[in-house]
Amino acid sequence: MRSKPLMMLALPLASILCVLSLSGCKKAAAVVTPEQAFGVYDTEPDWNDSTKLISLGYQQSQGKRVFYQYCVWCHADATPAGPSNRSNLTPVPPLMNDGEKVNGESDEYMQNIIALGGSALGKSAMMPPYGKTLSAEEITAVIAFSRAIAQPPYQKPGRPGSQYTGKQ
């Protein structure tokens, strides 16, 4: 049969066509990751090294806003108005980025001390309760912000026996 060699020609032709059309979609799939392309929502200078910027997501940046309105006066060494009230207080309140003091506390503990105040948890009454002033979202956000700026960096506690133990 004369048809055979022609068939032999047609097959690779078709497969080339096929490969070409497939490679078209492969090319489109090669895109940059969203983080690289679309940037971050907000940034906060590192409290220990002002040239270093910490990138913040939406929730953390809302926490930053709450922090600089309500918490900064006693939980930072510099405030938007200048002097800090921190040195006036005994016991001295922890800095919000002090990982050594704050990293060990669970999110639930942080929520409680912000919402109920120091006296409810057997700590100094100098820390007033903000549960009726801030919404639950705002409290979660401010905790997320303090986790983001913590030095040494905060690591999520891992669940023992699970494969989802904290990232290193």
Partner 1 sequence: MPPEDMGKLSDKLRLTFAVSTVICVLALAISPLKDFRAEWKHYKRWFVKYAQGRPDTKKLLADYSPSIDQVWLPGMNVTDRCTTCHQGIAQPSLSDASVPQPFRAHPPIPHNVRDWGCSICHRGQGPATEVAEAHETTLAWEQPILPAHFLQASCGSCHQTDLKETPQLARGRELLTHLNCQACHKLNNLDRPTLGPDLSSIGYKLTREWIYKWLKEPRTILDKDGNATVNGYENEDEPRMPKFRLKEDEIRALSAFLSAQKAKPIEKYKINPAVVAAWSKKPDLLSQGELRFRQMMCTTCHSLAVTRAGETKMIGGNIGPELTKVGSKVNEEWLVAWLWNPKGYLEHSNMPRYGWSDEDLYKVSQYVMNKLTDTDLLTNVPQLGAATEDEVKTGKRLFAEKGCASCHALSGIAPQKDFGPDLTALGAKNASELEFSKAKIEHNLVSYLQAKLQDPASVNPAARMPQYNWEQADLDAVTTALLSQTGPAPTSALQHLVVPRKDASFQPVGTFAEIYERYKCYACHRFNGYGGTLAPDLSYEGSRAQKKWIADFLKNPQTIRPTLILRMPQFNMSDKDAAITAEYLSIAVQKPGVDPESVDSRQFSPAMISMGKQLYEVKYQCQSCHTIGGTGGYVGPNLNNAGNWLTPGWIEAWLRNPQALQPDTIEPRRNLTEDEIRALTAYLMTLRTGIQAQTTKSAARAHLLVQGAGR
Computed over its alpha carbons, how large is the radius of gyration of the chain? Answer: 27
* Cβ closest to partner 1, residue 35 vs residue 49: 35
Helices marked H in 105-135 — which ranges?
107-116
Per-position x/- string for 54-93, each x denoting binding to partner 1 as judged by CB under 8 A, each - no binding: ---xxx--x--x---xx--xx------xxxxx--xx----
Shortest distance in whole angstroms from residue 74 CB to partner 1: 7
| Site for partner 1, residues 32 to 61, rule: CB under 8 A | 33-35, 37-42, 57-59
Report how far residue 157's alpha carbon sits from residue 78's, in angstroms, rounded to the nearest whole number.
Answer: 30
* Contacts for 9-15: CB closer than 8 Å, 24+ residues apart: none
Per-position x/- string for 111-150, each x denoting binding to partner 1 as judged by CB under 8 A, each - no binding: ------x-x----xxxxxxx-xx---x--x----------
Q: What are phi and psi of 54, to 5 degrees?
A: -105, 125
Report how far residue 35's alpha carbon sits from residue 152's, in angstroms, rounded to the nearest whole number.
Answer: 24
Per-position x/- string for 94-113, each x denoting binding to partner 1 as judged by CB under 8 A, each - no binding: --------------------
| Paired tokens of 102 | 């704050």
* Cβ closest to partner 1, residue 93 vs residue 102: 93
Shortest distance in whole angstroms from residue 131 CB to partner 1: 8
